[in-house]
Homo-oligomer: A and B are copies of this chain.
């Protein structure tokens, strides 16, 4: 057991533990000690590596976004047909991994944080910009005004996500987003 080069390992463990703890608790009201204990180290070490609670949270958020991006890319890679890209994005947004309690909690608290924490807001904005530009690209050629269509679809995705994640876990959000897409593209269902 080498005692060198632990930093990335510890950081990753802490980020994972942070997400898990937030997920279990359902809020940001988790202590550094809880996270550190779950990650198998002292809270002092957590501070040593991250500098403070906020930065642990921020790292966790970045991880969530990375995971989400990976999901999107995975789905996009599955198809080569351009007219299937929007569907792929929708599928990614409603993948099971997105409804993992940890992810839901992190995401919701994320929205809360964005009001106070500039870094959180920046990350959130980044996510939204990416989703929007992905959708614009995917809708080009399929709808008359891709910008507007993307905006609507993006908002719908966020809105459906919240509904399903919070209040209606059993609904098929994906199907609804597909319906909306059909509506936008004028396809007959």
Contact = CB atoms under 8 A, between A and B. Distances in A.
A27 interface: yes
Interface stretch (A3-11, A39-47, A61-69, A157-165): A157-165
A184 interface: yes
A118 B86 CA distance: 36
Q: What is the predominant secondary structure among interface residues of chain A facing chain B?
A: helix
A146 to B, nearest CB: 13
Given A105-B115, A112-B108, A121 B167 contact: yes
A168 to B, nearest CB: 8
State the 9 A-B residue pairs at the shortest beta-carbon distance, nearest first. Answer: A159-B159, A155-B159, A26-B115, A158-B159, A26-B116, A112-B112, A155-B160, A125-B167, A156-B156
